[in-house]
Structure 1
Amino acid sequence: MPKLNWLFSLFAIAGFSTIALPVSGQALLPYTLNLDSEELEQQGVALIQDAVQLVRFEQYDLALPRAKLATQLAPNLFETWFVLGSLYVQQREFDKGIEVLMKARAIAPEEPGIMFTLGSAYFQKENYDAAVKELETGLKLDPEATEALFDLGNSYLMLKRYSESIAVYERAIAQDEEFWPAINNIGLVKYEQGDISGAIQHWRNSVTIDPEAAEPQLAIAVALYTQGQQQEGLKLGEAALSLDRKYADLEFLKENLWGERLLGDTQRFLATPEIQAVIERFQS
């Protein structure tokens, strides 16, 4: 399952919807050029609010310079460093993001959103042990954060700590029974464990929640084909790829945490003449 668009939800966790501009003690005199620290901080807060609004519309390139300037104007507010670090992670500048997020954590060591973002950064750097450490720390402060539970489950999955991965995914589902990505990824785990029927059941449950989800449909198709139900598998595979052609790319599937067993079976499935014809038809 692809990474979720977690950036704005993390801002919500950190309480950005409640940030208000400080009230100045007196009106600014005309023509005054010397700004005091409170006024500078007000400008920093205003800039970081602008940056968060731009994130809503996925205008990250416009949000980044505002966040940078906000850290200079309001360096004592963890929110400015948090937003800047999160934007660096969004743009895959992980080392910069981690460095900035550490500054945010030094100011607000009990803010779980910072740990969750650090966990995401470490995960994307493939430092899964560090990701687990940060996510577990954040979840002690906010144990009901569904996206963070999902990221923790993914980290355990990549470490092949399968039983722990399933347990964490189930915690995420307990928070939101419609959260099909966690259900889907339990299917990924079970397939790698050799529990094909259990994997198929979880993928079918995912499709029940979201009939337009291509990933679980393709996974079911591959599993059925591998088990000898070839016609049904081919039919479902064509339907899945018609929903999203990216799933015909094995590298894309690997990025979405498909394991070695499932990737091997998928490679054989995609190489069949019937599915190759489907892919060529889409390309043309």
Structure 2
Amino acid sequence: MPKRIGLISLVVVCSLWSLPKTTHAQALVPHTLQLDTAKLEQQGLSLAQEAAQLAQFQQYEMAMPRARLAVQLAPKSDKVWFLLGGLYLQTKKIDDAIAALKKAQSLNPKNGDVLFALGSAHFQQQKYPTAANYFQEGLKLKPNDPEGLFDLGNAYYMLGKLPDAIAQYNKAVSQDKKFWPAINNIGLIKYEQGDVEAAIKQWQAALAIDKQAAEPLLALAVALYTKGDQKQGLAMGETALRIDDRYADLEFLKQNLWGKRLLSDTQKFLQLPRIQAALQQRGANQSAPTAPQPAQ
């Protein structure tokens, strides 16, 4: 197969000699063929758009090569580097994500979303002070961003600054009344502090916004069961795990910032025969072959 040509310019070396009998052969001076950089950049932006659309459907393996090529064709676009960094984040290639995001930051220091993404990358590396700094810098540019406020709250939570975390969660909700993850996380803190009633109220408030939110539903189920309301707790737990059985994985819950007390109570809850039966039934349903559809 032919070698891939350069993206910015193509050097054409002419190795032709004129061979008149009266002179020596002389090589021609190489010529540089200048490509249309504006057109290449536009192609890069188009590829980036394709990659973004694929990423929306979690088609990361298809999106990644497009994004990599896009940054070669449009290397001065902070948005394209930001897209590539985001894809690396999604695929857990954190060091690559940070490199791409810092490139985006160098091209446009005023892009708050890049700072938030850098905060997320360092948060995943458990570098919580650095993550908090990036979130704070991002909020200087986008002070009313609910996700940025929520992320800073999470960083404070992991740093043990619980009042500060709750303050940021409340700010996030003040900017977006339907931002239930922030309400949910206040419940997580309250539960760890031993204020079960306050935690229950937070999870009920989150569910009032989204009845299909599996996380606050399972947390509420565990809290009610542990408190003594076993019937309602079991029913809610079954419903939560039917919605999303990832919440039966304690490691997944830990990644979602569930604290030691709630994890301990949840571990006991998940071992209950009725909950185990619900999980087994869901697993059987997922593995059951789909019946063939009759021909039309």
Using structure 1 for the length normalisation, give the TM-score: 0.83
Within the alignment, does 1:276 sit opposite 2:238 as a pair? no
Structure 1's 56 and 276: CA in aligned 2 closer, same or farther, altered over 3 A? closer
- Counterpart in the other structure of 1:205: 205
Structure 1's 283 and 66: CA in aligned 2 closer, same or farther, altered over 3 A? closer
SS in 1 for 2:212: coil
Amino acid across the alignment from 1:196: V
- Counterpart in the other structure of 2:94: 94
Structure 1's 115 and 237: CA in aligned 2 closer, same or farther, altered over 3 A? same
Q: Which runs of 5+ in 1 are unaligned?
A: 1-32
Query: Between the two proteins, what is the percent identity of the paired residues?
Result: 54
Structure with the larger helix share: 1
Structure 1's 46 and 243: CA in aligned 2 closer, same or farther, altered over 3 A? closer
Deviation at 1:204, TM superposition (A): 0.5
- Counterpart in the other structure of 1:256: 256
- Counterpart in the other structure of 1:54: 54
Report 1 or 2 for greater relative contact order, CA contacts < 8 Å, sequence distance ≥ 6: 1
5 Å-filtered alignment, 1:103-182, equals 103-182=103-182
270-279 vs 117-126, which moves further: 270-279
Deviation at 1:221, TM superposition (A): 1.5
Which has the higher Rg, Structure 1 or Structure 2? 2
* Cα distance in 1 for residues equivalent to 2:70 and 2:273: 56
Within the alignment, does 1:65 sit opposite 2:65 as a pair? yes
- Counterpart in the other structure of 2:188: 188
- Counterpart in the other structure of 2:39: 39
Structure 1's 77 and 275: CA in aligned 2 closer, same or farther, altered over 3 A? closer
* Cα distance in 2 for residues equivalent to 1:44 and 1:91: 22
- Counterpart in the other structure of 1:265: 265
* Cα distance in 1 for residues equivalent to 2:43 and 2:283: 50
* Cα distance in 2 for residues equivalent to 1:36 and 1:244: 50
Within the alignment, does 1:234 sit opposite 2:234 as a pair? yes
195-204 vs 55-64, which moves further: 55-64
99-108 vs 77-86, which moves further: 77-86
* Cα distance in 2 for residues equivalent to 1:74 and 1:283: 46
Using structure 2 for the length normalisation, give the TM-score: 0.80
- How many corresponding residue pairs? 253
Q: Deviations over 1:182-201 (max 9, x none)?
A: 11111011111111100000
* Cα distance in 1 for residues equivalent to 2:92 and 2:143: 27
